[in-house]
Chains A and B, each alone.
Chain A
Amino acid sequence: MNATLKHVKYVATENPVTLGAFILFSGFALLALIGPWIAPYDPLASDTLVALKPPTVAHWFGTDSLGRDILSRIIVAARLDFGIAVSAVAASFAVGSALGSLAGFFGGWADRIIGRVADTIMAFPLFVLAMGIVAALGNTVSNIVIATAIINLPFYIRVARAEVNVRRGAGYVEAARLAGNSDLRVLALHVFPNVLPPMMVQISLNMGWAILNAAGLSFIGLGVRAPQAEWGIMVAEGATYIISGEWWVALFPGAVLMLAVFTFNLLGDGLRDIMDPRMRT
């Protein structure tokens, strides 16, 4: 444990970017937790007197076409965006790691069927599949979560399968079996905990992508509905104004969205450095 801490400390000091990513991440997490209480204005309250005004002291990020405060909307939207991403990633982690572990541990027909499911999902351009799923299931936020979870599933299945597969014949697995543990018990209590570290890296890399995906879907008008504040839909609302020069409506939510995804990607890289320094690219 001490060695791990030392390694974490080493990675953080050797690569200040990772440290920065950790700090940024904490900031975003805080925003998602207490956002509604620290937003200076009501994110839905429109005030036509100040409609479409550039940033001022009163409205740091300016106001949109209905006179809503953009900063407040960005802050409040953090919870929704993070909520979508976290629940989607949690769902695909839970389902994907279970399926992948079963496939990797037992092999045989279970492996073939699960592998075929993953391949079929991967045979689609993933964003296109997500669009199709949301269109078919209905245009709601929970279906965005489902669609994002489904398109991320193959990655978890594959990582879990590969990692479980190489550990299946390890000494400690044999030992646990000889001690009288059932197959499922060995898999769940002995193999699976060892598979968690590489899965964590996958989660962190996936989070950024999930946010990007959800924002993309709402940008084209799926999922989140109009008055609600969400980064993707805010960029979409600003899109019509940006070519006539009102840049702030789209720029700020877009920049925050980008920063959030960037944070997760850096964090994923940092985590990978901690877990496996050799994998660094």
Chain B
Amino acid sequence: MIRMILKRLAGAIPNVIGVVIVTFLLTRALPGDPAAYFAGPAATKEAIEQVRASLGLNKSLPHQFVYYLKDLARGDFGNSLSTGQPVLTEIRQRLPASLELTLCGLLFAVVVAVPLGVLAATRPGSWVDHLCRLLATAGVSLPTFFTGLLLAYVFYFLLGIAPSPLGRIDVSFTSPPTVTGLYLVDSLLARDMELFRAAAKQLVLPALTLGLFVMAPLMRMTRASMLGVLSSEFIRTARASGLPRGKVLYAYAFRNALLPVVTTLGMVFSFLLGSNVLVEKVFAWPGIGSYVIEALVSSDYAPVQGFVLTMALLYVALNLVIDVLYGLIDPRVGIEG
């Protein structure tokens, strides 16, 4: 078991190295002179030279890479030009907001998509099946930013049941004392139900927007893998032995069909983390996505780089978790490994 996990960990190392190299190369590809850039527009020639030396830009590329690695090891992602704050601090402050949104979106998608996929697979060719197919194709065609706006318009402006799509919590509330940084959890820990409800209300629309986008691949994969399993011989045997329909479906078929679905989660996370940025912009959600957009607009490069690196490392970590999870669900993987 532990050996399996260690092996997966080792497998993720090349990915981490690749990610770090690519992010490093992205900074070196900055248009113009990075030293002049980091020194700011009003800098003198001497100041630029000083920055060049302090950034190590007068050294060779491999040399610079070592400097870069040293900085990363110390947790130094550079400072944001517009706020003057270290990038790592700001990312750490804002990450929980993004995580809360992403996880809720994923939860919604799984809760809706998996049962729908099973339903479609048990009735292939029926109207449920066709509807699911249409929904799945429509789902991946939806630009997340557009769905978000549409939902805000309908539920906030027309129906007035959602709060204004601005931020994590209504201005009349103060945020809960920070424990995990996730407002839903923190407000529960503080035993403040009203606050919990307020935070949940703000969260519903953005999470729904994210969830709608990633529902499609999950639903498709559930349906396809369920169909495959249902036509296999062990299901036929179980049916022929006279086992009740529900038991065949859930105890035998569903558990086996789940494996490819777990694998799809990797791709789903790629979608989620990417569209998170767009959703955060639409709902003025104070996560790292809106942080990076502000930085992009003011061409503040250090936060962008820190953001790309954080997201990529997070994604590698998530894939690792999925891998381990896969090994836990499917005992065959453990034996082979």
Contacts and interface: CB of A to CB of B under 8 A. Distances in A.
B140 interface: yes
Contacts of B223: 281
A242 B153 contact: yes
B308 A131 contact: yes
Contact of B15 (A120, A135, A244): A120
Contacts of A259: 141
Interface in A219-255: 219-222, 232, 235-236, 238-239, 242-245, 247, 250-251, 254-255
Contact of B140 (A232, A247, A251, A265): A265
Given A120-B18, A129-B308, A216 B296 contact: no
A116 interface: yes
Nearest to B224: A281
B264 interface: no
B143 A125 contact: no
Contacts of B69: none
Contact of A136 (B27, B143, B273, B277): B27
B106 interface: no
Interface stretch (B76-84, B85-93, B196-204, B297-305): B297-305
B249 interface: no
B19 to A, nearest CB: 5
Nearest to A208: B141
B31 interface: yes
Contacts of B319: 123
Contacts of A247: 153, 157
A261 B23 contact: no
Interface string B283-317: 00000000011001101010011011001100110
Contact of B307 (A128, A236, A250, A266): A128
Given A120-B19, A221-B297, A265-B137, A128 B143 contact: no
Size bracket of the A interface: 35 or more
Contact of A125 (B15, B140, B311): B311
Contact of A258 (B21, B141, B271, B312): B141
B274 to A, nearest CB: 3
A163 interface: no
Given A132-B23, A239-B149, A281-B220, A127 B296 contact: no
A138 interface: yes
A48 to B, nearest CB: 25
B250 interface: no
Nearest to B28: A136
A100 to B, nearest CB: 18
Interface of B: 14-15, 18-19, 21-23, 26-27, 29-31, 134, 137-138, 140-146, 149-150, 152-153, 156-157, 164-165, 220, 223-224, 269-275, 277-278, 281-282, 292-293, 296-297, 299, 301, 304-305, 307-308, 311-312, 315-316, 319
Given A220-B278, A251-B150, 16 more contacts: A123-B19, A124-B311, A125-B273, A127-B275, A128-B273, A128-B307, A216-B144, A238-B149, A239-B149, A242-B157, A243-B157, A243-B164, A243-B165, A247-B153, A254-B150, A259-B141
5 contacts: A123-B18, A125-B273, A127-B275, A136-B301, A137-B29
